[in-house]
Amino acid sequence: QRGHFSHEQFERATGRISFFVNSGIRFIEEMCKMRAFGELWDEITEQRYGVKNPKFRRFRYGVQVNSLGLTENQPENNAWRILLETLGVTLSRNARCRALQLPAWNEALSLPRPWDQQWSLRLQQILAYETDLLEYPDLFDGSPVVQSKVEDLKALARAEIEKIDGMGGVRSAIESGYMKTSLVRSMAERVSRIAKNEITVVGVNKWQEGIESPLVSGDDGGLFKIDGESVKETLEALKAVRGKRDAERAKAALLSLKAAAKSGANMMEASVECALARVTTGEWAGALREVFGEYRPVTGIEGQRLGLEGERVEALRKRIQRFTDERGRRPRIVVGKPGLDGHSNGAEMIAVSARHVGFDVVYSGIRLRPDEIVTSAIEESADVIGASVLSGSHVELAEQLMKLLDEAGARERIQVIFGGIIPQGDFERLAQIGIRAVFTPKDYELIDIMERIFSLIESPAAAAE
């Protein structure tokens, strides 16, 4: 806020701002996007905020290239996708990222193994140290094609900024749900276009046939195997930290943090003291949660449509309508994101798709406890719980969900399905626990998923076979 520091301090603080950017497969457009970002940031900080020092107007950003586009089908293709997405944020010297984080080729199959992470690191090292990429000034300065695209992107960005300003600013746009709704709509459009073959995804909707990759034919199938003992070891290490620290200092630090939060004071000093006192992240967040409550953002699924039509969609809608006429209510699904996994695209598309074909949908967003999901399903008289898990903890979460349903006497009434990054080798174990169906990135045809989910409700025994 203005008035709390000098203009010189304001400029220096502006120079410390950095952004986190996602880079996609259309690497020419992505490169132009980053040039547009840089030019706009320079313009906005100078004209809107009066930052005179050009050093403090530089657009600083780090990148996670797009994990969303990685495929379970023909996963070896992902190595080339990652490389191309890297070029979009490294080719243009004046728009080059300051930090680069690459996913692993097999992240649509499982969590990456150490070797997979090393392979992605080697890509960066070869690009930086073996090629001549870093030896030249910007290769695209003066290109009329590039500058034309940059100007187009800047015009679109300015229009979006004007719209957000008209809402009262970024905070209002977030709280109203505008931003999240826009993100979900964009994802829904992408999924719909892939299903209609308007966007080509090699190995998924084009050129599906091929020789099996040796990357996934080894003893481990190219998958990361989770060691169940590692969870116990982590918990023991956490207990050890708490046992060795100064308990009174940690307690006092948490009290100071809560006092600062309640009074509206700057919480940074209290947070630093918490760190020095070895307060854990969970304790720190828990203290703030006690003061402010749990933040539940807008989910963005309201009013979304996928644009999926056709004979199969209409046939499914008729089946759902018959169910509704016979039962006096629509089939109901609770879509849940258990645990700390914040990757919500898959869950959102299932929620939007289910509503599109006629389900009642309950979706409360990310980071839910298993007991919250089960309670919601029981209170809402749900037919199905759909849990989305990309963290590798699908077996443990399945066990917790089924135990809670057992204790509530609802196991036979409520079907449970799982989706996410789940290795094929775990399907049998999940079925033994009681999970009726498992969906992974290879199941990209949403109508197939919707038909199978509804079949579980129509005839649970037959659908599970």
Q: What is the pTM of this model?
A: 0.84
Q: Are 258 and 291 in contact (CB under 8 A)?
A: yes
Q: How far apart are CA 40 and CA 119, in angstroms?
A: 35
**In terms of C-beta distances under 8 Å and separation of at least 24 residues, what long-range contacts does 230-235 make, across chains too?**
231/396
What string of pLDDT tens digits covers the 465 residues of the chain? 566 789 999 999 999 999 999 999 999 999 999 999 999 999 999 999 999 999 999 999 999 998 889 999 999 999 999 999 999 999 999 999 999 999 999 999 998 999 999 999 999 999 999 999 999 999 999 999 999 999 999 999 999 999 999 999 999 999 999 999 999 999 999 988 998 899 999 999 999 998 988 888 777 888 887 777 788 898 999 999 999 999 999 999 999 999 999 999 999 999 999 999 999 999 999 999 999 998 888 888 887 777 778 899 999 999 999 999 999 999 999 999 998 888 888 999 999 999 999 999 999 888 899 999 999 999 999 999 999 999 888 999 999 999 999 999 999 999 999 999 999 999 999 999 999 999 999 998 899 999 999 999 987 544 444
CATH of domain 311-464: 3.40.50.280
Which residues have C-beta within 8 Å of that of residue 271, sequence separation ≥ 6?
A: 257, 284
Residue ranges per structural domain of the chain: 7-176+211-216, 245-292, 311-464
Query: What is the β-pairing status of strands 332-336 and 99-101?
Result: unpaired
**Domain 7-176+211-216 belongs in CATH node 3.40.50.720:** no
161-171 as b/e: b if 16+ CB within 10 A? eeebeeeeeee
Look up residue 371 and give its two tokens: 């007991």
